[in-house]
Chain A
Amino acid sequence: MDWLLAGGLGDGGVLTWTASEPVRVLVGVLALLALGLALLPGPAPRRIGDRLLELFLWAGALVVLAMAALGPTWVDESGRTETGPLVVLVDGSASMGVTEDGRQRSDALEARLAELVESGSVDGPVDVYTFDETVRSGPPAETDGRGSDLGVALEATADRYLGQQVRGVVVLTDGVDRGALRRSLREAGADGTLPPGLAPALPGPLTLYQVGQLDDVRDLAIDDVVTGGFAFLRTPFTLTANVRGAPGRTVPITLLRQGRVQQKQDVTLDEEGRGEVGFEITPRRVGRFSWSLQAPIDPDDAVPGNNTFPVVVRVVRDRTRVLQVSGSPSYDQKFLRLFLKEDPSVDLVSFFILRTQADMGAGWAPFELSLIKFPYERLFSEDLGSFDLVVLQNFDYAPYFSFNAEELLGNLARYVEDGGALVMTGGDRSFDMGDYQGTPLERVLPLQLGVAGPKSDEVPFRPVLTEAGLNHPITRLAADIASSQATWERLQPMDGLNMTAGVAPGAGVLLQHPSLTAANGEPAPVLAVAEVGRGRTMALAVDASWRWSFSEAAEGRGNQAYLRFWKSSLRWLVADPDDRRVVVTPARDNVLLGDEVQVVVLARDAGHLPVAAAEVGGMLIGPHGSEVPFSALTDADGEAVFTFRPETTGAHRLTAALVSDPKQAGASVFAVSDRDPELSEITPDRGFLETLAALYGERGRYVAPDESTGPLLDDTAAREVRDRREVDLASAPIVALLFGLLAGGAWFVRRRHGAV
């Protein structure tokens, strides 16, 4: 019978019709039409009894069909009581990845979870959630959360099961928690009080299962490196590493730069297993530089990844240190000193030769003189590295350097090659007239010496910009090229020129003589620049640049041309990365793995004005050589902004250049560390969990890692469950059977009397 009714009809159920109103109307109309057809008389007369029987059978069949079309459904609802669920909160933070005795902490966690969920030790439904900084359904897929917050997880549980009873709330964690609950408990515990309401009200008793080794976690780590943010050039600064490990242990910490060991120091950890060690560094160049601090990795180290800490420090120049050496006081020296002395960004050291051996017969006694010895030996040896720029202004070395000229000039050449800057200006003691030919200094000068004919020309002339000079930042005296050229054309003529053998290989001429030629047949160079090794040099073969200052002042123009010329020269010569035409600047020098890094590439023209709509392209080069290309157009401020999300730790280099002029390039670096705060402390916190359990009194329980106590369960916790069963009667076999019998019977009666 149940089969005929598609599963049977229970007690207490109700019949409902599921067809929509239009369907019901349609079915009624169709049924009446069909009945009307059935009433039509057949071709042969029949008995009234047969006629009525046939009509009755057709009507029955139509009723069955119509009822089936109206969607008859038998709905049977019944209520029942079920055991309340057990809620399990599983810690999914990164500290669960800590290795202890060769096994990850998460392994112990999984064992506990399996014991609860799969072993059948707990009857009834189990709802599993993962918590770290947030809460989500299901067990953890990875233990990589950036921090665990048990307080948030408990509050989420209270909200989720509001008004319900659960058999229990089980937490599986190591107790290393970054949330407010743990901090509050610490602070409350410090003054001996644990105020009620500190922890959220839960829908069931709480059991805290702790995982991890409570003692003797072997993890040597560099938790942090304090850099101070930035450092000044040539001023010592300290990288301080905060080291953590076994109390009393002496640990060697190594400072590396580009993979090479720079310094090594031992640090002995205190009774809390902490210590710090500082590495003093004196930066010699400006820019961003990366270092790495390393602690040794023991075979049983719980977190080998936190034994290395990469950092980037930005080195800035507080002031540009300039050494100005003049062989004779002159207007040229006077005006340059005035410029340098009045520039607050310049720290000037001047030495002027006020008297030579030839002047000593003038009859003045030494005590009358306010003269000091020229400390040439110290200046050009031990002090040389302290300067950003050396200006030799009509200075002849020979009367002073004497026997160690080769050594001292060699020092100066190496100083340039190692990143220093040098200017030699003209005069009767400069270039060939200063006998610099064949000296070590000649190899770094932008002009070739050894001129065969006259070593100077004393006919006034007005220098002419070369093609390179039109665009070079040093000779760009105005915002646009035409204005700059016009400025040069109205400046006062020079009084004469130091003749040279022409421009040195690799150097560039910015100003040249309008008619004289050098030994190589090219126009005689007046101003030339060169990049030598990591340094830069400039040769100005005249001694009257002061006229550019005074002549403009005479015309009421101030002295902007002179100031801009020397200011731009200074800027180009010291070559700070931030003064280049393409500047690459990461928003932060040190980032965490997974963080987004924003990089700004600034493009400027020769006059240091921003260039809009310039295409810049570059590469992000990872610590293992991986390359990520990038390109974009600059905006109205000359900036193009790129965003990266580094996937590996270590120093990442950035290079960028103008697509239209690849020589205009910049570079920078930033460091990526995985020093997740979650991993700065990995020892399981038993006190926190015990205190938390105590907050719940009899409804709280703490279970240590080595205990096998079951969870606190509220066996009375239950929930009302309502079952609803629906039987689709239209598809029940009895419908087809009834329809077949009635329709077949009507057909049989009709055929028996010859009707069709």
Chain B
Amino acid sequence: MTAPAPAASGNMRPQTRWAAIRREATRALIAVVIALLATILIIFVTSKTPAEAFMTLLTAPFSKTRTIGLWVDDVAKLTVTGLAFSLVFQARQFALGVQGQLYIGALAASYVALSPIGQTWLGLPLGIVAAMIAGGIYGFFPGIAKARLGANEIVSTLMLNYIAVELCNYLVRVQLVAPGSGLLTTAKFPGTSLYPVLVANTRIDLGVILAIVAVLAVWFALYRSSWGLKLRLVGHNARFAEYAGIKANFIMVSAMTAAGALGGLLGSMFVQGQAFGNLTVLFEGGFAFEGVLIAIVARNRPLAVLVVALFYAYLRQGAQLMNIRTDVPAEVISVVAAIIILLVASSFNLPGKAFLARLFFGSARRGTIAAATGGAPK
């Protein structure tokens, strides 16, 4: 894992890989610091015990083995959703279908786990594979609709999300739950279908390994295979890629299918993991969309996705604990998330820098400075 992700090729100026990474990391760090300052402000305005609330946000996830387990589990899941969004975003497709693929994958895994196969050792691998295939198919449809018909992928994937949620509600109620029970939760899956635990008494399970494998696989596919090169070319300039003889449509559809498989995998990680171990309606609660933030902050680079997920999962868990222990609602985190996305996507500079430059070089050079500091990738 020592090889860094190659730099974005969107920038015209020649630069070394490390300089680009340093620049991106600095931007992300500044965004996080500004967002945390905003959080402090919000907490101080809204809370009766602001100092305690903020300390809980920053330190609570690391306080117990159990909370560390929650954090690691969250990192694994955030990584996979971040990877799924990174794949499609790199191909310049704003497909938002991870939520739907997650539900479809979870349904497929549940059908395997609750069938007789689920009682054998095959339940675990078959559940994962079924989830990935189902998610892949669910990602393929909007992909082919976009490629063949030009149907807007944002709208189609979002609609498919809502459909998947309702489908899950329906199938759980009618088929998967014991009739007449009135519950909206399936029975616990047999142990042979569950992810094995890695650290006793925590949620740390096979999902963590799957997430790391997924990071490496996506990294390899994007940066060490010809498919990945073509995908990134299509993402930067689809028409140029076409002229270069790349089948942009095939790349687009395959990227959306692969991302769908990752979404399906995430569904399996949810229902077959130690956290749930069964299928409940609406179990996901909008989690999949956190991947949008992860992918944007990580600039769609798989290795960076893991790093961003580590930080963001920590913040999320801190917010949850702050919600329980103090009077600040956990939703404050979405305000933080929005600020981080906006700042990372902006080509901002520290205000002082421009002022100093103007002071030293005079206003005549302002144009040059603007040219040098503007033009962020993408």
Does B associate with A? no
